[in-house]
Chains A and B, each alone.
Chain A
Amino acid sequence: MEALLLTLDAALMVWLLLSVRRCENRPGKPNLGFFSYIEDQPGKMQDREEGSGHPYQGSGPHA
Protein backbone atom coordinates (compact mmCIF):
# COMPACT_ATOMS: atom_id res chain seq x y z
CA MET A 1 0.00 0.00 0.00
CA GLU A 2 2.86 2.36 0.85
CA ALA A 3 4.45 1.85 -2.55
CA LEU A 4 1.14 2.46 -4.31
CA LEU A 5 0.47 5.67 -2.40
CA LEU A 6 4.04 6.80 -2.90
CA THR A 7 3.65 6.30 -6.64
CA LEU A 8 0.36 8.21 -6.59
CA ASP A 9 1.87 11.08 -4.63
CA ALA A 10 4.91 11.18 -6.90
CA ALA A 11 2.65 11.20 -9.95
CA LEU A 12 0.64 14.11 -8.53
CA MET A 13 3.90 15.98 -7.95
CA VAL A 14 4.95 15.42 -11.59
CA TRP A 15 1.52 16.65 -12.65
CA LEU A 16 1.93 19.75 -10.51
CA LEU A 17 5.38 20.47 -11.97
CA LEU A 18 4.13 20.03 -15.52
CA SER A 19 1.17 22.30 -14.74
CA VAL A 20 3.49 24.97 -13.38
CA ARG A 21 5.77 24.67 -16.41
CA ARG A 22 2.87 24.88 -18.85
CA CYS A 23 1.47 27.83 -16.92
CA GLU A 24 4.77 29.72 -17.15
CA ASN A 25 5.47 28.90 -20.79
CA ARG A 26 2.03 29.60 -22.18
CA PRO A 27 1.03 33.21 -22.74
CA GLY A 28 -2.31 34.15 -21.27
CA LYS A 29 -3.88 33.80 -17.91
CA PRO A 30 -2.16 31.53 -15.38
CA ASN A 31 -3.88 28.18 -15.32
CA LEU A 32 -2.62 25.31 -13.20
CA GLY A 33 -5.03 22.84 -14.79
CA PHE A 34 -6.00 20.19 -12.26
CA PHE A 35 -4.40 22.29 -9.53
CA SER A 36 -6.21 25.50 -10.49
CA TYR A 37 -7.65 27.65 -7.80
CA ILE A 38 -10.74 29.69 -7.30
CA GLU A 39 -10.29 33.41 -7.37
CA ASP A 40 -12.17 35.86 -5.22
CA GLN A 41 -13.53 38.69 -7.31
CA PRO A 42 -15.31 41.83 -6.17
CA GLY A 43 -19.03 41.16 -6.13
CA LYS A 44 -18.56 37.43 -6.56
CA MET A 45 -17.71 36.55 -2.99
CA GLN A 46 -21.22 35.62 -2.00
CA ASP A 47 -21.54 33.28 -4.99
CA ARG A 48 -18.32 31.52 -4.11
CA GLU A 49 -19.27 31.17 -0.49
CA GLU A 50 -22.48 29.52 -1.58
CA GLY A 51 -20.40 26.87 -3.34
CA SER A 52 -20.51 27.97 -6.98
CA GLY A 53 -16.77 28.53 -7.24
CA HIS A 54 -15.32 29.41 -10.60
CA PRO A 55 -11.81 28.66 -11.91
CA TYR A 56 -9.09 31.22 -11.66
CA GLN A 57 -9.34 33.87 -14.34
CA GLY A 58 -7.36 36.67 -12.81
CA SER A 59 -4.40 38.70 -13.91
CA GLY A 60 -0.93 37.29 -13.61
CA PRO A 61 2.51 37.53 -15.14
CA HIS A 62 1.11 37.04 -18.64
CA ALA A 63 -1.93 39.20 -18.34
Chain B
Amino acid sequence: MRDIMILGMMCLYIPLALSNAFAAYLLWCWTAVIALNGYVYGFMRSMPINMVFALIAIVLIFLGRDKFRGRIALPRTSVLFILFAVQATISYVFSYDELARNTELYTNLLKALAFCILMPCLLTERYRIHALVMAITLGLTFHGVIEGLKSVVTLGGHKIAGLARFGDNNHFAIVMVMVIPLLLYVYRYSAHRLLRWIALAGVFLSVATVIGTHSRGGFLSMALMAVWIVFNIRRRILGAALLGLAFLAIVALAPSGWSERMNSIKEAGHDSSFMTRVVAWKISSEIALQSPFTGGGFHAVQSQAVWDKFRDSDGLLGFVDTPYRAEQAFAAHSIYFEVLGDLGFLGLLIFLAILANTFIAGFQIRQEVARRGPHLKWAADLANMLAASMIGYVVGAAALSLAYHEVMYMFVMLMQVLLLHVRRDVIANSPVSETQANSSGAHA
Protein backbone atom coordinates (compact mmCIF):
# COMPACT_ATOMS: atom_id res chain seq x y z
CA MET B 1 0.00 0.00 0.00
CA ARG B 2 2.75 2.43 0.98
CA ASP B 3 4.70 1.45 -2.12
CA ILE B 4 1.75 2.39 -4.30
CA MET B 5 1.34 5.64 -2.39
CA ILE B 6 5.00 6.58 -2.88
CA LEU B 7 4.81 5.57 -6.53
CA GLY B 8 1.82 7.93 -6.83
CA MET B 9 3.84 10.66 -5.15
CA MET B 10 6.66 10.12 -7.62
CA CYS B 11 4.17 10.63 -10.46
CA LEU B 12 3.44 14.05 -8.97
CA TYR B 13 7.03 14.93 -8.13
CA ILE B 14 8.73 14.00 -11.40
CA PRO B 15 6.78 16.48 -13.60
CA LEU B 16 7.37 19.17 -10.96
CA ALA B 17 11.08 18.36 -10.91
CA LEU B 18 11.31 18.38 -14.71
CA SER B 19 9.72 21.81 -14.87
CA ASN B 20 12.38 23.59 -12.84
CA ALA B 21 15.94 22.85 -11.73
CA PHE B 22 15.34 24.39 -8.32
CA ALA B 23 12.25 22.23 -7.72
CA ALA B 24 14.33 19.17 -8.62
CA TYR B 25 17.03 20.37 -6.23
CA LEU B 26 14.50 20.74 -3.40
CA LEU B 27 13.27 17.21 -4.09
CA TRP B 28 16.85 15.94 -4.13
CA CYS B 29 17.28 17.47 -0.68
CA TRP B 30 13.95 16.32 0.75
CA THR B 31 14.25 12.72 -0.49
CA ALA B 32 17.80 12.59 0.92
CA VAL B 33 16.75 13.55 4.44
CA ILE B 34 13.35 11.85 4.62
CA ALA B 35 14.76 8.58 3.23
CA LEU B 36 11.49 7.28 1.80
CA ASN B 37 12.99 3.84 1.10
CA GLY B 38 13.15 3.20 4.84
CA TYR B 39 9.38 3.46 5.17
CA VAL B 40 8.37 1.00 2.45
CA TYR B 41 8.66 -2.74 2.37
CA GLY B 42 7.81 -3.71 -1.20
CA PHE B 43 9.01 -2.95 -4.70
CA MET B 44 9.78 0.74 -3.92
CA ARG B 45 12.34 -0.16 -1.26
CA SER B 46 15.11 -0.64 -3.79
CA MET B 47 14.08 2.25 -6.05
CA PRO B 48 16.81 4.94 -6.24
CA ILE B 49 14.29 7.73 -5.55
CA ASN B 50 16.90 10.22 -4.40
CA MET B 51 19.13 9.52 -7.39
CA VAL B 52 16.28 10.22 -9.80
CA PHE B 53 15.89 13.77 -8.51
CA ALA B 54 19.64 14.27 -8.22
CA LEU B 55 20.07 13.39 -11.90
CA ILE B 56 17.14 15.58 -12.97
CA ALA B 57 18.52 18.52 -10.97
CA ILE B 58 22.06 18.16 -12.30
CA VAL B 59 20.95 17.82 -15.92
CA LEU B 60 18.59 20.80 -15.67
CA ILE B 61 21.21 22.95 -13.95
CA PHE B 62 23.76 22.28 -16.67
CA LEU B 63 21.14 22.77 -19.39
CA GLY B 64 20.45 26.19 -17.90
CA ARG B 65 16.82 25.38 -17.05
CA ASP B 66 16.72 27.81 -14.18
CA LYS B 67 16.12 31.45 -14.91
CA PHE B 68 17.28 32.63 -11.49
CA ARG B 69 20.44 30.55 -11.37
CA GLY B 70 23.57 32.36 -10.32
CA ARG B 71 26.93 31.82 -11.90
CA ILE B 72 28.85 28.75 -10.78
CA ALA B 73 31.03 30.15 -8.03
CA LEU B 74 33.65 28.64 -5.78
CA PRO B 75 33.32 30.24 -2.38
CA ARG B 76 35.56 29.26 0.53
CA THR B 77 33.38 26.37 1.66
CA SER B 78 33.20 24.90 -1.86
CA VAL B 79 36.99 24.95 -2.08
CA LEU B 80 37.22 23.15 1.27
CA PHE B 81 34.63 20.60 0.12
CA ILE B 82 36.58 19.95 -3.09
CA LEU B 83 39.80 19.50 -1.10
CA PHE B 84 37.97 17.14 1.24
CA ALA B 85 36.64 15.16 -1.74
CA VAL B 86 40.15 14.89 -3.19
CA GLN B 87 41.56 13.73 0.14
CA ALA B 88 38.68 11.23 0.49
CA THR B 89 39.47 9.88 -2.98
CA ILE B 90 43.15 9.42 -2.10
CA SER B 91 42.20 7.61 1.11
CA TYR B 92 39.66 5.49 -0.73
CA VAL B 93 42.25 4.42 -3.29
CA PHE B 94 45.02 3.72 -0.76
CA SER B 95 42.79 2.13 1.87
CA TYR B 96 43.37 -1.16 3.66
CA ASP B 97 41.96 -4.18 1.86
CA GLU B 98 38.42 -5.40 2.30
CA LEU B 99 36.92 -2.54 4.26
CA ALA B 100 33.23 -3.36 4.43
CA ARG B 101 31.89 0.18 3.97
CA ASN B 102 34.73 1.86 2.09
CA THR B 103 32.91 2.29 -1.21
CA GLU B 104 29.51 3.00 0.33
CA LEU B 105 30.75 5.81 2.59
CA TYR B 106 33.00 7.26 -0.09
CA THR B 107 30.22 7.49 -2.69
CA ASN B 108 27.74 8.83 -0.11
CA LEU B 109 30.21 11.53 0.88
CA LEU B 110 30.81 12.51 -2.75
CA LYS B 111 27.06 12.72 -3.38
CA ALA B 112 26.58 14.92 -0.31
CA LEU B 113 29.45 17.20 -1.34
CA ALA B 114 28.16 17.42 -4.92
CA PHE B 115 24.73 18.46 -3.62
CA CYS B 116 26.30 21.14 -1.46
CA ILE B 117 28.71 22.49 -4.08
CA LEU B 118 25.72 23.22 -6.35
CA MET B 119 23.92 25.11 -3.58
CA PRO B 120 25.48 28.59 -4.10
CA CYS B 121 24.43 28.76 -7.74
CA LEU B 122 20.79 27.87 -6.95
CA LEU B 123 20.13 29.67 -3.69
CA THR B 124 20.34 33.14 -5.16
CA GLU B 125 17.32 34.70 -3.44
CA ARG B 126 15.92 34.74 0.05
CA TYR B 127 12.77 32.82 -0.90
CA ARG B 128 14.97 30.03 -2.23
CA ILE B 129 16.99 29.89 0.98
CA HIS B 130 13.71 29.78 2.89
CA ALA B 131 12.35 27.03 0.62
CA LEU B 132 15.46 24.89 1.17
CA VAL B 133 15.19 25.39 4.94
CA MET B 134 11.55 24.28 4.66
CA ALA B 135 12.51 21.19 2.61
CA ILE B 136 15.17 20.18 5.15
CA THR B 137 12.84 20.67 8.11
CA LEU B 138 9.96 18.87 6.39
CA GLY B 139 12.21 15.92 5.69
CA LEU B 140 14.00 15.68 9.02
CA THR B 141 11.12 16.61 11.32
CA PHE B 142 9.06 13.79 9.85
CA HIS B 143 11.29 11.29 11.68
CA GLY B 144 11.12 13.34 14.87
CA VAL B 145 7.34 13.59 14.71
CA ILE B 146 6.87 9.84 14.27
CA GLU B 147 9.28 8.79 17.00
CA GLY B 148 8.39 11.72 19.27
CA LEU B 149 4.68 10.84 19.12
CA LYS B 150 5.48 7.24 20.04
CA SER B 151 7.52 8.47 23.01
CA VAL B 152 4.84 10.88 24.18
CA VAL B 153 1.96 8.41 23.77
CA THR B 154 3.82 5.73 25.74
CA LEU B 155 4.99 8.30 28.34
CA GLY B 156 8.61 7.55 27.54
CA GLY B 157 8.13 3.79 27.37
CA HIS B 158 9.07 3.67 23.68
CA LYS B 159 12.84 3.47 23.44
CA ILE B 160 13.97 4.78 20.07
CA ALA B 161 16.48 2.49 18.41
CA GLY B 162 17.46 4.79 15.56
CA LEU B 163 16.89 4.71 11.83
CA ALA B 164 18.69 2.74 9.16
CA ARG B 165 19.30 5.98 7.27
CA PHE B 166 20.96 7.79 10.19
CA GLY B 167 22.38 5.02 12.32
CA ASP B 168 21.72 3.99 15.91
CA ASN B 169 19.88 5.91 18.64
CA ASN B 170 22.87 8.21 19.30
CA HIS B 171 23.24 9.20 15.64
CA PHE B 172 19.52 9.77 15.34
CA ALA B 173 19.53 11.95 18.48
CA ILE B 174 22.23 14.23 17.06
CA VAL B 175 20.40 14.64 13.75
CA MET B 176 17.25 15.57 15.71
CA VAL B 177 19.22 18.04 17.82
CA MET B 178 20.47 19.65 14.60
CA VAL B 179 16.99 20.23 13.21
CA ILE B 180 15.58 21.90 16.36
CA PRO B 181 17.23 25.32 15.72
CA LEU B 182 15.96 25.31 12.13
CA LEU B 183 12.45 24.63 13.40
CA LEU B 184 12.81 27.57 15.77
CA TYR B 185 13.81 29.71 12.79
CA VAL B 186 10.75 28.51 10.85
CA TYR B 187 8.59 29.26 13.90
CA ARG B 188 10.00 32.75 14.19
CA TYR B 189 9.92 33.74 10.54
CA SER B 190 6.88 31.98 9.07
CA ALA B 191 4.13 34.40 8.18
CA HIS B 192 1.34 31.82 8.43
CA ARG B 193 0.16 31.19 11.97
CA LEU B 194 -0.61 27.48 11.31
CA LEU B 195 2.91 26.88 10.01
CA ARG B 196 4.32 28.49 13.15
CA TRP B 197 2.31 26.11 15.31
CA ILE B 198 3.42 23.14 13.22
CA ALA B 199 7.05 24.21 13.67
CA LEU B 200 6.54 24.57 17.43
CA ALA B 201 4.97 21.12 17.62
CA GLY B 202 7.96 19.87 15.62
CA VAL B 203 10.32 21.36 18.22
CA PHE B 204 8.43 19.69 21.06
CA LEU B 205 8.35 16.28 19.35
CA SER B 206 12.01 16.52 18.29
CA VAL B 207 12.97 17.16 21.91
CA ALA B 208 10.80 14.18 22.93
CA THR B 209 12.63 12.12 20.29
CA VAL B 210 16.05 13.08 21.67
CA ILE B 211 14.86 12.12 25.17
CA GLY B 212 13.35 8.91 23.81
CA THR B 213 16.65 7.79 22.32
CA HIS B 214 18.16 7.66 25.85
CA SER B 215 21.31 9.04 24.25
CA ARG B 216 23.63 10.75 26.73
CA GLY B 217 25.56 12.50 23.97
CA GLY B 218 22.28 13.57 22.38
CA PHE B 219 21.04 15.13 25.61
CA LEU B 220 24.36 16.85 26.26
CA SER B 221 24.50 18.31 22.77
CA MET B 222 20.86 19.42 23.02
CA ALA B 223 21.62 21.17 26.30
CA LEU B 224 24.65 22.98 24.84
CA MET B 225 22.75 23.87 21.69
CA ALA B 226 19.98 25.38 23.84
CA VAL B 227 22.49 27.36 25.92
CA TRP B 228 24.06 28.70 22.71
CA ILE B 229 20.66 29.86 21.48
CA VAL B 230 19.84 31.55 24.80
CA PHE B 231 23.16 33.41 24.75
CA ASN B 232 22.58 34.59 21.19
CA ILE B 233 19.01 35.87 21.35
CA ARG B 234 17.95 39.35 22.33
CA ARG B 235 15.72 38.29 25.24
CA ARG B 236 18.29 36.28 27.15
CA ILE B 237 16.56 36.38 30.53
CA LEU B 238 13.28 35.14 29.13
CA GLY B 239 15.15 32.51 27.12
CA ALA B 240 17.10 31.35 30.18
CA ALA B 241 13.87 31.13 32.21
CA LEU B 242 12.16 29.08 29.47
CA LEU B 243 15.19 26.83 29.19
CA GLY B 244 15.20 26.26 32.94
CA LEU B 245 11.49 25.42 32.87
CA ALA B 246 12.01 23.04 29.95
CA PHE B 247 14.84 21.31 31.81
CA LEU B 248 12.71 20.90 34.95
CA ALA B 249 9.84 19.54 32.84
CA ILE B 250 12.13 17.02 31.15
CA VAL B 251 13.58 15.84 34.48
CA ALA B 252 10.11 15.60 36.03
CA LEU B 253 8.43 13.84 33.12
CA ALA B 254 11.20 11.61 31.79
CA PRO B 255 11.03 7.92 32.71
CA SER B 256 13.30 6.66 35.51
CA GLY B 257 15.42 4.63 33.07
CA TRP B 258 16.30 7.83 31.25
CA SER B 259 17.39 9.59 34.46
CA GLU B 260 19.60 6.65 35.44
CA ARG B 261 21.15 6.67 31.99
CA MET B 262 21.89 10.41 32.17
CA ASN B 263 23.37 10.07 35.66
CA SER B 264 25.89 7.61 34.28
CA ILE B 265 27.55 10.49 32.35
CA LYS B 266 29.42 11.30 35.59
CA GLU B 267 30.91 7.80 35.66
CA ALA B 268 32.30 7.87 32.13
CA GLY B 269 35.81 7.10 33.39
CA HIS B 270 34.62 3.74 34.74
CA ASP B 271 32.13 3.05 31.98
CA SER B 272 33.25 0.11 29.81
CA SER B 273 31.35 1.57 26.83
CA PHE B 274 33.29 4.83 27.12
CA MET B 275 36.64 3.14 27.72
CA THR B 276 36.13 0.94 24.64
CA ARG B 277 35.71 4.18 22.71
CA VAL B 278 39.06 5.38 24.03
CA VAL B 279 40.65 2.18 22.73
CA ALA B 280 39.03 2.83 19.34
CA TRP B 281 40.45 6.38 19.40
CA LYS B 282 43.90 5.00 20.17
CA ILE B 283 43.70 2.60 17.25
CA SER B 284 42.31 5.28 14.92
CA SER B 285 45.19 7.61 15.77
CA GLU B 286 47.68 4.77 15.30
CA ILE B 287 46.25 4.13 11.82
CA ALA B 288 46.82 7.82 11.06
CA LEU B 289 50.38 7.68 12.41
CA GLN B 290 51.10 4.74 10.12
CA SER B 291 49.53 6.47 7.09
CA PRO B 292 49.53 10.22 7.88
CA PHE B 293 48.67 11.41 4.36
CA THR B 294 46.14 8.79 3.31
CA GLY B 295 44.65 7.31 6.47
CA GLY B 296 43.34 3.79 6.46
CA GLY B 297 40.25 4.28 4.31
CA PHE B 298 36.61 4.66 5.33
CA HIS B 299 35.92 3.02 8.68
CA ALA B 300 39.21 1.16 8.62
CA VAL B 301 39.10 0.85 12.41
CA GLN B 302 35.97 -1.30 12.08
CA SER B 303 37.84 -3.89 10.05
CA GLN B 304 38.74 -6.82 12.30
CA ALA B 305 42.06 -7.29 10.49
CA VAL B 306 43.05 -3.65 11.04
CA TRP B 307 41.83 -3.74 14.66
CA ASP B 308 43.89 -6.87 15.36
CA LYS B 309 46.96 -5.31 13.75
CA PHE B 310 46.88 -2.24 16.01
CA ARG B 311 45.05 -3.63 19.05
CA ASP B 312 47.88 -3.03 21.49
CA SER B 313 48.90 0.38 20.11
CA ASP B 314 48.29 3.57 22.04
CA GLY B 315 48.48 5.97 19.11
CA LEU B 316 48.32 9.58 20.30
CA LEU B 317 46.55 8.68 23.54
CA GLY B 318 49.24 6.81 25.43
CA PHE B 319 48.60 9.02 28.46
CA VAL B 320 45.15 7.42 28.97
CA ASP B 321 45.22 4.09 30.73
CA THR B 322 43.00 1.47 29.11
CA PRO B 323 43.60 -1.87 30.81
CA TYR B 324 40.72 -3.51 28.96
CA ARG B 325 41.31 -4.06 25.25
CA ALA B 326 38.29 -5.20 23.26
CA GLU B 327 38.80 -8.21 21.02
CA GLN B 328 36.08 -7.20 18.60
CA ALA B 329 36.59 -4.30 16.20
CA PHE B 330 34.73 -1.19 17.34
CA ALA B 331 33.60 1.98 15.54
CA ALA B 332 35.73 5.10 16.02
CA HIS B 333 32.93 6.79 17.99
CA SER B 334 34.20 10.30 17.43
CA ILE B 335 33.99 12.35 14.26
CA TYR B 336 37.51 13.64 14.89
CA PHE B 337 39.14 10.24 15.38
CA GLU B 338 36.94 8.80 12.65
CA VAL B 339 38.30 11.28 10.09
CA LEU B 340 41.81 10.97 11.52
CA GLY B 341 41.84 7.18 11.10
CA ASP B 342 40.00 7.18 7.78
CA LEU B 343 41.60 10.12 5.96
CA GLY B 344 44.79 10.79 7.89
CA PHE B 345 46.08 14.04 9.38
CA LEU B 346 45.50 15.98 6.17
CA GLY B 347 41.89 14.84 6.07
CA LEU B 348 41.38 15.85 9.69
CA LEU B 349 42.91 19.25 9.01
CA ILE B 350 40.48 19.90 6.14
CA PHE B 351 37.58 18.57 8.20
CA LEU B 352 38.42 20.91 11.10
CA ALA B 353 38.77 23.78 8.63
CA ILE B 354 35.27 22.99 7.32
CA LEU B 355 33.85 23.10 10.85
CA ALA B 356 35.77 26.24 11.83
CA ASN B 357 34.78 27.91 8.56
CA THR B 358 31.10 27.54 9.48
CA PHE B 359 31.49 29.50 12.69
CA ILE B 360 33.70 32.10 10.97
CA ALA B 361 31.03 32.56 8.27
CA GLY B 362 28.38 32.90 10.98
CA PHE B 363 30.44 35.57 12.70
CA GLN B 364 30.95 37.42 9.39
CA ILE B 365 27.21 37.33 8.70
CA ARG B 366 26.44 38.89 12.08
CA GLN B 367 29.08 41.56 11.47
CA GLU B 368 27.67 42.42 8.04
CA VAL B 369 24.12 42.53 9.39
CA ALA B 370 25.18 44.77 12.25
CA ARG B 371 26.65 47.17 9.68
CA ARG B 372 23.82 46.98 7.16
CA GLY B 373 20.83 47.34 9.44
CA PRO B 374 17.83 45.34 10.55
CA HIS B 375 16.41 44.41 7.12
CA LEU B 376 18.91 41.52 7.12
CA LYS B 377 18.24 40.49 10.69
CA TRP B 378 16.65 37.27 9.45
CA ALA B 379 20.03 36.27 7.99
CA ALA B 380 21.75 36.84 11.34
CA ASP B 381 19.05 34.82 13.09
CA LEU B 382 19.32 31.97 10.59
CA ALA B 383 23.12 32.07 10.96
CA ASN B 384 22.70 31.86 14.73
CA MET B 385 20.41 28.88 14.40
CA LEU B 386 22.75 27.12 11.97
CA ALA B 387 25.62 27.77 14.38
CA ALA B 388 23.50 26.31 17.19
CA SER B 389 22.92 23.19 15.07
CA MET B 390 26.64 22.94 14.45
CA ILE B 391 27.37 23.33 18.18
CA GLY B 392 25.06 20.36 18.74
CA TYR B 393 26.96 18.47 16.07
CA VAL B 394 30.55 19.22 17.13
CA VAL B 395 29.76 18.38 20.76
CA GLY B 396 27.41 15.44 20.33
CA ALA B 397 29.28 13.79 17.50
CA ALA B 398 32.58 14.05 19.40
CA ALA B 399 31.69 10.60 20.73
CA LEU B 400 30.01 9.25 17.58
CA SER B 401 30.98 8.14 14.09
CA LEU B 402 28.99 10.73 12.16
CA ALA B 403 31.64 12.58 10.17
CA TYR B 404 30.15 11.91 6.74
CA HIS B 405 26.53 12.67 7.47
CA GLU B 406 25.09 14.81 4.69
CA VAL B 407 22.97 17.01 6.98
CA MET B 408 26.10 18.53 8.50
CA TYR B 409 27.52 19.40 5.05
CA MET B 410 24.17 20.91 4.05
CA PHE B 411 24.20 23.17 7.10
CA VAL B 412 27.81 24.20 6.49
CA MET B 413 27.04 25.19 2.90
CA LEU B 414 23.80 26.89 3.91
CA MET B 415 25.85 29.14 6.17
CA GLN B 416 28.14 29.96 3.22
CA VAL B 417 25.16 30.69 0.98
CA LEU B 418 23.77 33.00 3.63
CA LEU B 419 27.05 34.88 3.77
CA LEU B 420 27.07 35.24 -0.03
CA HIS B 421 23.48 36.50 0.08
CA VAL B 422 24.27 39.10 2.72
CA ARG B 423 27.32 40.27 0.79
CA ARG B 424 25.30 40.50 -2.43
CA ASP B 425 22.84 42.68 -0.56
CA VAL B 426 25.70 44.83 0.71
CA ILE B 427 27.01 45.32 -2.83
CA ALA B 428 23.54 45.91 -4.30
CA ASN B 429 22.70 48.55 -1.68
CA SER B 430 26.11 50.17 -1.38
CA PRO B 431 26.30 53.95 -2.10
CA VAL B 432 28.60 53.25 -5.06
CA SER B 433 26.16 50.91 -6.79
CA GLU B 434 23.28 53.30 -6.02
CA THR B 435 25.24 56.14 -7.59
CA GLN B 436 25.99 53.96 -10.63
CA ALA B 437 22.32 53.04 -10.90
CA ASN B 438 21.32 56.69 -10.69
CA SER B 439 23.84 57.80 -13.26
CA SER B 440 22.93 55.01 -15.69
CA GLY B 441 19.28 55.93 -15.16
CA ALA B 442 20.07 59.56 -15.93
CA HIS B 443 21.82 58.61 -19.19
CA ALA B 444 19.14 56.17 -20.26
Identify which of A42, A56, A60 contacts B191 (C-beta below 8 A). A56
With both chains docked as a complex, state the minimum distance between the C-beta of B142 and any C-beta of chain A, in angstroms: 5
Chain A residue with the shortest CB-CB distance to B193? A53
Contacts of A14 in B (CB 8 A): 9, 12-13, 16
Identify which of B6, B13, B375 contacts A41 (C-beta below 8 A). B375
How many residues of chain B get a CB closer than 8 Å to chain A's CBs?
49
Asked if B16 and A21 sit within 8 Å, CB to CB, the answer is yes
Chain B residue with the shortest CB-CB distance to A33? B192
> Given A9-B142, A39-B375, A56-B191, do A18 and B16 touch, yes or no (CB 8 Å)?
yes
Asked if B191 and A40 sit within 8 Å, CB to CB, the answer is no
Asked if A36 and B126 sit within 8 Å, CB to CB, the answer is no
Asked if B375 and A42 sit within 8 Å, CB to CB, the answer is yes
**Stretch among B73-81, B129-137, B168-176, B214-222 lining the A interface:** B129-137
With both chains docked as a complex, state the minimum distance between the C-beta of A45 and any C-beta of chain B, in angstroms: 4
Asked if B138 and A9 sit within 8 Å, CB to CB, the answer is yes
Q: Which of A1-17 contact B (CB under 8 A)?
A: 1-3, 5-7, 9-10, 12-14, 16-17
Given the complex of chains A and B, what is the CA–CA distance between A42 and B16 in angstroms?
37
Chain B residues proximal to chain A, CB less than 8 Å: 1-2, 5-6, 9, 12-13, 16, 19-20, 22-23, 26-27, 30, 34, 36, 39, 67-68, 124-128, 130-131, 134-135, 138-139, 142, 145-146, 149, 188-192, 194-195, 234, 373-378
Identify which of B23, B39, B190 contacts A6 (C-beta below 8 A). B39
Asked if A55 and B68 sit within 8 Å, CB to CB, the answer is no
Contacts of A23 in B (CB 8 A): 127
With both chains docked as a complex, state the minimum distance between the C-beta of B312 and any C-beta of chain A, in angstroms: 47
Asked if B34 and A7 sit within 8 Å, CB to CB, the answer is no
Contacts of A17 in B (CB 8 A): 13, 16, 23, 26-27
With both chains docked as a complex, state the minimum distance between the C-beta of B283 and any C-beta of chain A, in angstroms: 39
> Can you give 7 contacting A-B residue pairs, CB < 8 Å?
A1-B146, A13-B26, A16-B26, A17-B16, A21-B16, A41-B374, A61-B124
> Given A30-B127, A32-B130, A38-B189, do A2 and B39 touch, yes or no (CB 8 Å)?
yes
Identify which of A2, A30, A35, A44 contacts B146 (C-beta below 8 A). A2
For the residues of B in contact with A, the DSSP-based class is helix
Given the complex of chains A and B, what is the CA–CA distance between A44 and B374 in angstroms?
8
Asked if B374 and A40 sit within 8 Å, CB to CB, the answer is yes
Contacts of A16 in B (CB 8 A): 26, 131, 134-135, 138
Asked if A37 and B146 sit within 8 Å, CB to CB, the answer is no
Asked if B378 and A20 sit within 8 Å, CB to CB, the answer is no
Given the complex of chains A and B, what is the CA–CA distance between A41 and B135 in angstroms?
25
Contacts of A34 in B (CB 8 A): 192, 194-195
> Given A7-B5, A10-B9, A21-B16, do A38 and B191 touch, yes or no (CB 8 Å)?
yes
Q: Name which of A5, A9, A19, A36 has the most chain B CB atoms within 10 A of its CB.
A: A9
With both chains docked as a complex, state the minimum distance between the C-beta of B238 and any C-beta of chain A, in angstroms: 11
> Given A18-B16, A58-B126, do A35 and B23 touch, yes or no (CB 8 Å)?
no
Chain B residue with the shortest CB-CB distance to A55? B191
